[in-house]
A and B are shown apart, each in its own frame.
Chain A
């Protein structure tokens, strides 16, 4: 029984970096900008966060560094895409490749360097509960912060005026522009906030999840986060579900291998991707639902008419 509690716990912690990156991308896409540079941002933030953690020993500074790096890279994409009018997909892709290469170069001396592990939270009564204590209440603070972010983003988007403006910019930028809202600046702000979240995800990977740096350590999580946002039809709660599902099945396949299940290990390692796609596609198959939730101007260049 304890094994299942631990499995659930590892699902939550494995899904957290995905959830964080996906939430960041959700903000980006709600404002109408597709950010394909998530993978590069996460890697750059991972090396930045790791370097700061090694230098200062403070994990929150490391998260801050990751957020800053993510923001800066997102701002770079923003300037290129919003003011210079470059193709969003190509620019994002270029940023991914750039981030991957630069992080590998900067992190050359950090490969294999030691980092003392940071502790998990211990809530006085809740952590000692028989099953749910280990499963839900003994995580690193960032896991709980992610859930808070998801709730906060939902409230922001659907209950505040600023969120309404953001959604408007994503749905009909021409109308928003006509109403006097600075479309490009709002999109830039959304990009930077989203980039910061991607950065925190990257820092979480290299500082908390595997306290080590190795090049390419995100192993495609940025791309998975991108797909997750789309499959979850831009709803924060579904993003969380998809991320935890993915993390859970990743750990489940190791669990099944250890149990001696007679399925080839290679097939089992396909399982997380397959499961997430299937589940989310099933939940989100209503075409009306998709039409309602997808930002109408996603990926399209906006040039304010003179």
Chain B
């Protein structure tokens, strides 16, 4: 055999074995999955819920998957650094669990086309970036039903985190739920401009109670609002995870997110090789949202109403955003009979009638 042919033969053999390597690698070594959290995992809240689901997903797939997480990643340039680090460590699927990671995810995804990214609560996708979200507004609505039934002053207080459409949607859904029980409900909103800041949340909650709110709701990540309600003898809700133990008397219910179905589904698709970038938005129907640990003091009629709403959301017969819905100034934002589709829901930048205050930044 001539040298030229030997080289060609060697090259072909090498190429063939290299092509076969990934297939060999997949079946031999487990899939590495990375997670980044915006806050500390702690014992309750947004990041805690994600971490619980991570553990459940890990248990589901056993040895086929190995997970790692980084907590307390600030939304900014640091996020890009951490994502890059995870990608370089061999993670083939990375979940970025906060809205503010969006630009960092897109930037790092461009540099690592073989790594798949899932961005929670985002709206931009790419060839290797998908988004996933939970219909937290369904949990907010159900909490609102309970709040409407339990409020004696008719004034509800919401500690808002960051004024993005998701949070505005939750505040509105909470108000709509309460108004379905008591049409005269008013909601006051105070913004702390952070997702997690217990001292500020405490101050905000105190201020709301001082202004007459007797049931509090939050879109922030810590149990501080619930603890403040407990201290001041008012009611409040848990958010993102079950917070009943932080305010035994004050806790009415917790609107929780169960991320396990999404994580099992997406990771399973990567394992099977069928993953493609999607925009998932799951709610009660997919067991991603629930209202749990309802306080025994809540009357049976209200509980029944919540159960009916839950059943309706599960089988698709009930729609929270169904017209007629009025904006703050009385103008119709959703016509009678119309059902708000996902596009409408994503673009909510207003308050519904009954919510007091001005949307920040408008």
Contact = CB atoms under 8 A, between A and B. Distances in A.
A224 to B, nearest CB: 13
A6 B358 contact: no
Contacts of A254: 190, 203-204, 207-208
Interface string A241-279: 000000000110011011111101110010000000000
A258 B205 CA distance: 11
Interface string B38-73: 001011110000000000000000000000000000
A6 B213 CA distance: 13
Interface in A174-189: none
A68 B14 CA distance: 69
B202 interface: yes
Nearest to B211: A258
B41 to A, nearest CB: 8
A258 B199 contact: no
Contact of B200 (A6, A219, A257, A266): A219
Contacts of B246: 114
B109 interface: no
Interface stretch (B1-9, B129-137, B221-229, B284-292): B221-229
A212 interface: yes
A76 to B, nearest CB: 27
Contacts of A260: 188, 356-358
A214 B190 contact: no
Given A112-B43, A269-B193, A205 B199 contact: yes
Contacts of A265: 163, 191, 193, 360
A304 interface: no
A212 B222 contact: yes
Interface string A121-136: 0000000000000000
A264 B361 CA distance: 6
Given A6-B210, A258-B188, A265-B360, A114 B245 contact: yes
Contacts of A212: 198, 222-224, 227
A251 B361 contact: no
Nearest to A13: B206
Interface in B202-252: 202-204, 206-208, 210-212, 222-224, 227, 230-231, 245-246
Given A254-B190, A260-B358, A217 B157 contact: no
Contacts of A250: 203
Interface residues of B, number: 39
B210 A3 contact: yes
Contact of B222 (A112, A117, A205): A112
A219 B193 CA distance: 14
B360 A217 contact: no
B265 interface: no
Contacts of A112: 40, 42-45, 222-223
B188 to A, nearest CB: 4
B207 A219 contact: no
Contact of B198 (A117, A210, A251, A259): A210
A10 interface: yes
A251 B203 contact: yes
B227 A211 contact: yes
B193 A266 contact: yes
B241 to A, nearest CB: 11
Contacts of B210: 3, 6-7, 10, 255
Given A210-B202, A254-B203, A258-B190, A113 B43 contact: yes
Nearest to A251: B207
Interface string A192-227: 000000000000010001111011010100000000
Interface in A1-53: 3, 6-7, 10, 14
Nearest to B41: A111
Contacts of A261: 358
Contacts of B200: 219
B257 interface: no
Contacts of B223: 112, 212
A3 B208 CA distance: 10
B211 A259 contact: yes
A152 B357 CA distance: 44
Contacts of B157: 258
B197 interface: yes
A210 B360 contact: no
B222 to A, nearest CB: 7
A117 B197 CA distance: 18
A219 B44 CA distance: 22
B44 to A, nearest CB: 6
A259 B163 CA distance: 17
A255 B191 CA distance: 11
Nearest to B45: A112
Interface in B65-119: none
A117 B163 contact: no
Given A10-B207, A254-B207, A255-B210, A210 B224 contact: yes
15 contacts: A6-B210, A10-B206, A10-B210, A112-B40, A112-B222, A117-B227, A117-B230, A214-B198, A214-B222, A257-B189, A257-B190, A258-B208, A259-B211, A265-B360, A266-B360
Interface of B: 40, 42-45, 157, 163, 188-191, 193, 196-200, 202-204, 206-208, 210-212, 222-224, 227, 230-231, 245-246, 356-358, 360-361
Interface of A: 3, 6-7, 10, 14, 111-114, 117, 205, 209-212, 214-215, 217, 219, 250-251, 254-255, 257-262, 264-266, 269
Given A14-B203, A259-B357, 19 more contacts: A3-B210, A10-B210, A111-B43, A113-B43, A117-B230, A205-B199, A212-B224, A214-B196, A219-B199, A251-B207, A255-B211, A257-B207, A258-B188, A260-B357, A260-B358, A261-B358, A262-B358, A264-B361, A265-B163
